[in-house]
Each structure stands twice: as structure tokens, then as C-alpha cells.
């Protein structure tokens, strides 16, 4: 059973759009997930612009991959390293702690996630 950063059972992040490395709505991870998509974020316009600027366009739809493109307010499983990078830049999006995988703590301090937490 996957655990969240609070020590509880990992909850679903979101299904509209369908997120997660396995596109199952959950920010779970395994050895195939090289990007470690473990942070359940509520993306913001500011974060999306930042992400495009560092080479990860999450806005443009990619129908060939079943990706609708993200809009502010969408829940999305971000790479832990990308959230940490955005945090250092002052543009990290809010997070859902119960849906953020414990492995995120390898890259991010729990206190930083708690300060960014929403319910």
C-alpha cells in the first residue's frame, strides 16, 4: 500500500484530467517512473508559465498521447524535482498532502509541502 507524506494511505489526486504516471488518478510511483511523478498539485497559471519556460509544456493539448493540456485549477501529479525547482523559483503550486506520495520527501521538505497545502 502506497503511503502519503503524512504517513497515511495515498489518496487519489484527480481524474479530470486523468493524472498519475500510470494515468490512474494516483501519484503512485515505481521503478519505471524515472520522473517520480509523486506531488499532487493544483496547477496555477504562474506555475504553468514557469513549466513552459523550463521546457515542460503542460498547457498544449497532445491528443496523440491522450493529454488534454492543463488549465489553472487542474490537479496533476508533478515530478517531485519539478515542484522543488518551482518552489525555489517562488512559483510552486499548492499541493494536496493526502494525495502526495511519501517518496516526494526525498526531494522536498515536509514543512515546504505543508506551507503549500490546500484541502
List pLDDT tens digits, range 88-99.
Answer: 999 999 999 999
- What does the pLDDT read at residue 65? 84
Which residues are bridge partners to 93 per DSSP? Answer: none
List pLDDT tens digits, range 8-19.
Answer: 999 999 999 999
List pLDDT tens digits, range 30-70.
Answer: 999 999 999 999 999 999 999 999 999 999 999 998 889 99
Confidence of residue 6 (pLDDT cuts 50, 70, 90): very high
- What does the pLDDT read at residue 108? 98
- What does the pLDDT read at residue 47? 98
- What does the pLDDT read at residue 111? 98
- What does the pLDDT read at residue 119? 82
Question: Alpha-carbon distance 65 to 90, whole Å?
Answer: 30
**Over 90: is that where the pLDDT of 1 sits?**
no
Residue 119 burial class via C-beta count within 10 angstroms: exposed 0-12, middle 13-18, buried 19 and up: exposed
- What does the pLDDT read at residue 93? 98
Amino acid at each position: 500500500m502506497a503511503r502519503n507524506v503524512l504517513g497515511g494511505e495515498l489518496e487519489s489526486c484527480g481524474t479530470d484530467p486523468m493524472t498519475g504516471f500510470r494515468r490512474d488518478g494516483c501519484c503512485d510511483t515505481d521503478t519505471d517512473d524515472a520522473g517520480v511523478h509523486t506531488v499532487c498539485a493544483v496547477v496555477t497559471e504562474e506555475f504553468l508559465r514557469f513549466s513552459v519556460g523550463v521546457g515542460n509544456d503542460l498547457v498544449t493539448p497532445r491528443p496523440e498521447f491522450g493529454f488534454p493540456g492543463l488549465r489553472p485549477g487542474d490537479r496533476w501529479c508533478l515530478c517531485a524535482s519539478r515542484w522543488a525547482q518551482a518552489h525555489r523559483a517562488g512559483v510552486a503550486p499548492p499541493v494536496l498532502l493526502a494525495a502526495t506520495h511519501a517518496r516526494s520527501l526525498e526531494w522536498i521538505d515536509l514543512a515546504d509541502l505543508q506551507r503549500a497545502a490546500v484541502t
